[in-house]
């Protein structure tokens, strides 16, 4: 297994662990304290956190079966950036109520889009 495959598998597993923790925190500690609109934002952060932690696992698993290309490495890195910017900004917005944090979210969404595009190109090129 390549170093990069291992890195993305570890980060994906850690991301899943954190997503479960954040989801449980929201369901048990925040459900009665956050306003419904902020709870919806928090839940969106958790959902995308889960999806892209799974995406990191997909990158790591794919790298275990095909050569670890720059496209796959870029895909994994962009997923990490997306997690930090997209889910991170939404978590911060939901917990603080500071609305301008939502301006960061589209940068994370763009990172997610580019990550999946690179993933698809890498799969197509892998034959």
Q: How confident is the model at residue 101 (pLDDT cuts 50, 70, 90)?
A: confident
Q: How far apart are CA 59 and CA 94, in angstroms?
A: 29
85 DSSP 8-state letter: I
What pLDDT, on a 0 to 100 scale, did the predictor assign at position 102? 87
The model's pTM is 0.92
Is residue 127 scored above 80 in pLDDT? no
73-77, 83-87, 89-93, 123-127: which has the minimum mean pLDDT? Answer: 123-127
CB 56 within 8 A of CB 12: yes
Q: How far apart are CA 116 and CA 109, in angstroms?
A: 11
Integer angstrom CA distances of residue 47 from 19, 44, 101, 112, 121: 8, 5, 18, 13, 25
**Mean pLDDT across the stretch 59-81?**
95
What pLDDT, on a 0 to 100 scale, did the predictor assign at position 97? 86
What pLDDT, on a 0 to 100 scale, did the predictor assign at position 120? 96
User: Average model confidence (pLDDT) for the chain?
Assistant: 95
Is residue 1 scored above 90 in pLDDT? no
The per-residue pLDDT for range 49-68, each reduced to its tens digit, is 999 999 999 999 999 999 88
What pLDDT, on a 0 to 100 scale, did the predictor assign at position 20? 97
Is residue 12 scored above 80 in pLDDT? yes
């Amino acid at each position: 297994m390549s170093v990069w495959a291992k890195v993305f598998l570890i980060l994906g597993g850690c991301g899943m662990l954190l997503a479960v923790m954040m989801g449980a925190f929201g369901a048990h500690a925040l459900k009665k304290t956050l306003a419904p609109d902020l709870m919806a934002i928090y839940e969106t952060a958790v959902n995308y956190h889960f999806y892209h932690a799974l995406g990191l696992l997909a990158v790591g698993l794919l790298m275990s079966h095909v050569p670890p290309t720059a496209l796959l490495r870029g895909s994994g890195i962009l997923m990490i950036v997306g997690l930090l910017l997209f889910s991170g900004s939404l978590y911060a917005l939901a917990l603080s109520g500071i609305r301008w944090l939502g301006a960061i979210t589209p940068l994370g969404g763009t990172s997610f889009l580019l990550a999946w595009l690179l993933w698809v190109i890498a799969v197509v090129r892998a034959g």
